[in-house]
């Protein structure tokens, strides 16, 4: 099948040492041949071997544009499996645009976001889970996210899904064969064997699904909301974690009136820190709006950091905060521990226990920089049982994957119900086929074109 030729900058449009322009499609070599000259002004790129790089110059008609290195990848030995050329030029945004414009002027068209990876998927070079992992690698913000995405790009999810699909299609084929030829295929004891296989599948799908919460956090970060009464030390905590004076800190209660957000890397994972206005009853209209925002963010948090000023007694504002924490993961920072305490940790622990709140407690002093390391360890303990490990476990980070696996689990549960109720074999086959089809959606073997377009539209240009 003949494909049109696409081109785009594969590097950011900013001044840098090197820029890369990627061209892929049936006419890619012919197009670049029209604008490339080697140092001896001879030899077509068609005559070069695949997976080689060559020194020369790019011209627009007779005008020299840049000194370049040109990489040649001949089909099927390229990322897209098509003839592909990469022009390595100097990294100025003007020269990249000028060369790209020249390439397009000679017959290529500007690639859509993610179109190179989309072609790799459509041409069978990678499955859909690997394609999504490419974007996860690009957007990785920490070591754990990068390591997990790299594993998925190597096929960790694909291989697992293929293993499940093989088991399911084997059972479907056996049932269909037995229904077509009952005289020669004995189904005596088959339901017991199928029960064992379905239990195995259900257990493994559940195990994959159970990784999603931590996987989402590895990929996107922990949405961490800092709450407390005014002047408890919330903004000081934010500044300490960020490493700069991001929030204004004064002795005047109510200084923070709006939301301040910062991303930090902590123990190999990202925290999306949100410093909120101090929660208290107030007649100040602006402060009241900040308090309402704080309550809304608190409800959406993955982690609540409740900063308690140990130098003053608990009041109705503390009770409101404790009630709002509910069953969310929470760390209580018993702050201003360098001052004389008006309340004890035991006292606040008792109050929280009465309201079924079970946080981790840490004594801190923002003034003396005390307790920050303990806070870092507490975060890891709450979310990763003290250890972030992506080496040996397949971790689901993609919401699309989670939803598909949930559907598969439902299909397999329906098979179990049919087995338990002694229903005819064709009932098993129907639900097994649904599970098989849903697993195919995960790796792109049974997926609609609209969904493919939506997935790749989120990619960056040139990839």
pLDDT in tens, the chain (463 residues): 567 999 999 988 778 889 999 999 999 999 999 999 988 766 788 888 999 999 999 999 989 999 999 999 999 999 999 999 999 999 889 999 999 999 999 999 999 999 999 999 999 999 999 999 988 888 887 777 888 889 999 999 999 999 999 999 999 988 888 877 777 777 778 888 999 999 999 999 999 999 898 888 888 888 888 888 777 777 777 777 776 554 434 343 444 445 677 777 776 678 888 877 666 555 566 656 766 777 777 788 888 888 888 888 888 888 888 888 888 888 888 887 777 777 877 888 888 888 777 788 888 877 777 777 888 788 877 876 645 555 667 889 999 999 999 999 999 999 999 998 888 888 888 999 999 999 999 999 877 777 788 888 877 777 7
Asked whether residue 273 falls in the same domain as residue 190, the answer is no
Asked whether residue 366 falls in the same domain as residue 323, the answer is yes
Cα gap 87→108, rounded to integer Å: 14
Is 128 a member of any domain? no
How many other C-beta atoms can be found within 10 angstroms of the C-beta atom of residue 455?
Answer: 21
Cα angle at 188 between 184 and 192, to 5 degrees?
Answer: 135
Identify the CATH number of the domain in which residue 182 sits. 1.20.120.430
Asked whether residue 356 falls in the same domain as residue 295, the answer is yes
DSSP letter assigned to residue 1 = -
Cα gap 269→396, rounded to integer Å: 16
**Residue 459: per-residue pLDDT:** 75
Asked whether residue 235 falls in the same domain as residue 372, the answer is yes
Cα gap 358→329, rounded to integer Å: 8
Asked whether residue 340 falls in the same domain as residue 257, the answer is yes
pTM, two decimals, is: 0.76
Last residue of a domain, one of 111, 146, 174: 111
Asked whether residue 376 falls in the same domain as residue 258, the answer is yes
**Residue 255: per-residue pLDDT:** 41
DSSP letter assigned to residue 8 = E
Is 329 a member of any domain? yes
Check if the beta carbon of residue 15 is closer than 8 Å to that of residue 22: no
Asked whether residue 380 falls in the same domain as residue 259, the answer is yes
**Residue 9: per-residue pLDDT:** 93
Last residue of a domain, one of 384, 413, 428: 384
**Residue 406: per-residue pLDDT:** 96
Asked whether residue 235 falls in the same domain as residue 353, the answer is yes
Residue 361 C-alpha from the chain's centroid: 30
Is 127 a member of any domain? no
Which segments of 26-162 are extended strands (E)?
A: 36-38, 52-60, 63-73, 84-91, 109-110
Strands 84-91 and 63-73: antiparallel
**Residue 409: per-residue pLDDT:** 96
Asked whether residue 239 falls in the same domain as residue 185, the answer is no
Identify the CATH number of the domain in which residue 252 sits. 3.40.50.300
**Residue 75: per-residue pLDDT:** 93
Last residue of a domain, one of 384, 418, 439: 384
Is 268 a member of any domain? yes
Residues sharing a CB contact under 8 Å with residue 93, sequence separation 6 or more, in sequence order: 13, 14, 15
**Residue 24: per-residue pLDDT:** 96
Asked whether residue 378 falls in the same domain as residue 251, the answer is yes
Is 317 a member of any domain? yes
Is 13 a member of any domain? yes
Residues sharing a CB contact under 8 Å with residue 139, sequence separation 6 or more, in sequence order: none
Structural domain span for residue 341: 220-384
Asked whether residue 104 falls in the same domain as residue 27, the answer is yes
Identify the CATH number of the domain in which residue 31 sits. 3.30.1360.120
Asked whether residue 377 falls in the same domain as residue 236, the answer is yes
Domain count, the chain: 3
Is 406 a member of any domain? yes
Is 244 a member of any domain? yes
């Amino acid at each position: 099948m003949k494909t049109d030729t696409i081109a785009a900058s594969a590097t950011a449009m900013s001044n840098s040492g090197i820029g890369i322009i990627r061209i892929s499609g049936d006419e890619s070599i012919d197009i670049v041949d029209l604008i490339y000259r080697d140092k001896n002004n001879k030899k077509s790129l068609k005559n070069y071997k695949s997976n080689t790089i060559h020194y020369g110059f790019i011209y627009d008609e007779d005008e020299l544009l840049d000194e370049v290195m040109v990489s040649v990848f001949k089909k099927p030995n390229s990322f897209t499996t098509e003839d592909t050329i990469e022009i390595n030029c100097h990294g100025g945004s003007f020269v990249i645009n000028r060369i790209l414009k020249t390439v397009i002027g000679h017959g290529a068209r500007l690639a859509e976001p993610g179109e190179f990876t989309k072609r790799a998927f459509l041409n069978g070079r990678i499955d859909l889970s690997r394609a999504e992992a490419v974007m996860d690698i690009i957007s990785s913000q920490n070591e754990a996210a990068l390591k997990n995405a790299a594993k998925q790009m190597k096929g960790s999810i694909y291989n697992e899904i293929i293993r499940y699909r093989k088991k399911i299609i084997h059972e479907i084929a056996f049932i269909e064969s037995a229904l077509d030829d009952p005289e020669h295929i004995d189904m005596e004891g088959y339901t017991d064997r199928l029960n064992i296989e379905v239990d195995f599948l259900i257990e493994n799908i559940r195990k994959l699904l159970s990784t999603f919460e931590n996987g989402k956090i590895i990929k996107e970060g922990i949405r961490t909301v800092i709450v407390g009464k005014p002047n408890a030390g919330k903004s000081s905590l934010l500044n300490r974690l960020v490493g700069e004076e991001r929030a204004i800190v004064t002795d005047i209660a109510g200084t923070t009136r709006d939301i301040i957000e910062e991303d930090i890397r902590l123990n190999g994972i990202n925290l999306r820190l949100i410093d909120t206005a101090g929660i208290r009853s107030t007649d100040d209209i602006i402060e009241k709006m900040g308090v309402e925002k704080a309550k809304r963010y608190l409800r959406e948090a993955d982690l609540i950091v409740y900063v308690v000023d140990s130098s003053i007694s608990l009041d109705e504002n503390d009770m409101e905060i404790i009630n709002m924490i509910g069953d969310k993961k929470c760390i209580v920072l018993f702050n201003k521990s360098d001052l004389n305490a008006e309340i004890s940790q035991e006292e606040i622990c008792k109050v929280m226990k009465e309201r079924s709140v079970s946080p981790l407690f840490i004594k801190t002093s923002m003034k003396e920089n005390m307790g920050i390391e303990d806070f870092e360890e507490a975060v890891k303990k709450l979310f990763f049982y003290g250890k972030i490990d992506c080496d040996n476990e397949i971790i689901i980070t993609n919401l699309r994957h989670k939803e598909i696996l949930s559907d598969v689990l439902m299909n397999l549960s329906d098979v179990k119900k049919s087995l338990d109720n002694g229903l005819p074999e064709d009932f098993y086959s129907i639900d097994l086929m649904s599970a098989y089809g849903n697993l195919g959606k995960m790796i792109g073997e049974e997926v609609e074109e609209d969904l493919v377009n939506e997935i790749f539209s989120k990619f960056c240009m040139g990839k």
